[in-house]
């Protein structure tokens, strides 16, 4: 019964050329699955020294790169490697004095979760491995750059729209990561996966 249903679904996809929808669905399932896994087991992951140290290392790199971009743009902020705020010590702090706005880059801002999602998405999604070998690292670099500009963007929000900080952080900047990953995936799907599938189909015909 299940096999018959599978064959019927496959035939509908073939008949109505729904491969793109199938691929988008697979993209969403993989990304969502690893998002849920991270959400459930994040504390367990971060209890592993290597993972925590990697997150802290990445957060530091994002902070220093963001600091450099802010200096180039001549943004009037003060940065601190460490700063005590309300009795708690924070690392990688970007501080704007007039409205006392603060952005700090901690382990959750490191981009490590997005790296993990991207790597597993690409490992599991179909496509030629010879291209995955360079496309996965390229995606990581692009996600890292996006994260830097996310921190710079939140600094501008801190200065100009502090009352909108939570909304922009949660509903614009966070989803933007997934928009970038989706666009990278579309590039992969169109240029490598579908092309390889077409070549394979032509070889069989």
Q: What digits encode the pLDDT tens for the residues 110-168?
A: 999 999 999 999 999 988 899 999 999 999 999 999 999 999 999 999 999 999 999 99
The band of 204, judged by pLDDT with boundaries at 50, 70 and 90, is low
**3-class DSSP state of 163:** helix
Q: Where are the domains of the chain?
A: 22-197
pTM of the model: 0.86
Q: How many CB atoms lie within 10 A of CB 181?
A: 21
Exposure string for 71-109, b = 16+ CB within 10 A, e = fewer: eeeeeebebbeebeeeeeeebbbbbbeeeebbbbbebeb
For residue 18, is pLDDT > 60?
A: no
Q: What digits encode the pLDDT tens for the residues 38-58?
A: 999 999 999 999 999 999 999
- Identify the burial level of 39 via C-beta atoms within 10 angstroms of its C-beta, where 0-12 means exposed, 13-18 middle and 19 or more buried: exposed
Residue 6's pLDDT is 47
CB 128 within 8 A of CB 196: yes
């Amino acid at each position: 019964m299940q096999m018959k249903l599978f064959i019927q679904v496959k035939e509908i996809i073939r008949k109505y050329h729904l491969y793109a929808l199938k691929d988008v669905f697979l993209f969403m399932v993989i990304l969502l699955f690893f998002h849920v896994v991270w959400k459930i087991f994040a504390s367990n992951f971060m209890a592993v020294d290597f993972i925590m140290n990697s997150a802290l290392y990445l957060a530091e790199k994002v902070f220093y790169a963001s600091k450099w971009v802010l200096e180039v743009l001549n943004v009037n902020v003060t940065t601190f490697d460490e700063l005590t705020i309300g009795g708690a010590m924070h690392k990688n702090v970007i501080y704007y004095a007039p409205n006392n706005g603060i952005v700090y880059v901690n382990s959750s801002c490191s981009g490590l979760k997005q790296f993990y999602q991207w790597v597993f998405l690409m490992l599991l999604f179909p496509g030629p491995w010879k291209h995955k070998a360079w496309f996965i690292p390229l995606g990581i670099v692009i996600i890292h750059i996006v994260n830097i500009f996310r921190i710079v963007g939140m600094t501008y929000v801190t200065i100009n729209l502090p009352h909108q900080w939570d909304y922009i952080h949660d509903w614009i900047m966070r989803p933007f990561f997934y928009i970038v990953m989706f666009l990278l995936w579309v590039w992969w799907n169109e240029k490598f996966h579908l092309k390889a599938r077409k070549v394979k189909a032509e070889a069989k015909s």
